[in-house]
Chains A and B, each alone.
Chain A
Amino acid sequence: QLQLQESGPGLVKPSETLSLTCTVSGGSISNSNYYWGWIRQPPGKGLEWIASINDSGDTYYNPSLKSRVTISVDTSKNQFSLKVTSVTAADTAVYYCAGILFRLSSSPLDPWGQGALVIVSS
């Protein structure tokens, strides 16, 4: 059973870069049934899709964040990563990584990692 786990600093200073890694276990990140994505949730608020990447390395970004976000995959480590540059307090959120079941109609997000809280503060 595929499991995902986010890791990275829980506190980032304003204007710096937020970096998170999602480690995939229980299967290969090269699994042809999945794409990979990041979603975030500010405290007490709803869900925001950030970015996704497919098995060809094609990336898709939320236009509202595109200029500051990079998603990448490291198949040798069975991980994928997210970087958000020039962070502000508005980037404070729980960040989730997720597998995207693209072979199913409507490509649902499943499974999800447990989430990593990142606070932007000096």
Chain B
Amino acid sequence: DIQMTQSPSSLSASVGDRVTITCRASQSISNHLNWYQQKPGKAPKVLIYAASTLQSGVPLRFSGSGSGTDFTLTITSLQPEDFATYYCQQSNSVPRTFGQGTKVEIK
């Protein structure tokens, strides 16, 4: 199985901050990487697919980059509704695997 490791596991930030979350794959996955946002009690929602393509309807403050083994999710100006847990997921091979999550909390 491909292991996905996110860092940090949690972070505290203020509204307006720039936030960066990283995801590392245990082997190359090309650009087969998705990012999801999950709020408490809700299902995850896809933000970015193919490492850098913004899903329709997702605000432009979200962006993704990377290929191979190292990927980044960036939120350029954190908004109150962005406080949530973020997961990366590889779709290069079966079984699909997720990172352990990064919880973004209010400072």
Contact = CB atoms under 8 A, between A and B. Distances in A.
B72 to A, nearest CB: 15
Contacts of A63: 1, 95
Nearest to B99: A46
B49 A104 contact: yes
Contacts of A101: 49
Interface residues on A, range: 20 to 34
Interface in B79-107: 87, 89, 91, 94-101
Contacts, number: 67
B89 A109 contact: yes
A108 B98 contact: no
Interface string A75-117: 0000000000000000000001000010011111110111100
B104 to A, nearest CB: 15
A48 B44 CA distance: 12
Contacts of B34: 106, 108-109
Given A63-B1, A96-B43, A106 B32 contact: yes
A85 to B, nearest CB: 19
B100 A46 contact: yes
Interface residues of B, number: 27
Contacts of A114: 42-43
A49 B87 contact: no
B101 to A, nearest CB: 5
B27 to A, nearest CB: 16
Contacts of A61: 95
Name which of B43, B91, B101 has the most chain A CB atoms within 10 A of its CB: B43
User: 10 smallest A-B Cβ distances: which pairs?
Assistant: A112-B43, A108-B49, A62-B95, A105-B50, A49-B96, A106-B50, A47-B98, A110-B46, A108-B34, A108-B46
Given A62-B94, A64-B95, 18 more contacts: A46-B87, A46-B98, A46-B100, A47-B44, A47-B89, A47-B101, A49-B89, A49-B95, A49-B96, A52-B96, A60-B94, A101-B49, A106-B91, A107-B32, A108-B55, A110-B45, A110-B55, A112-B43
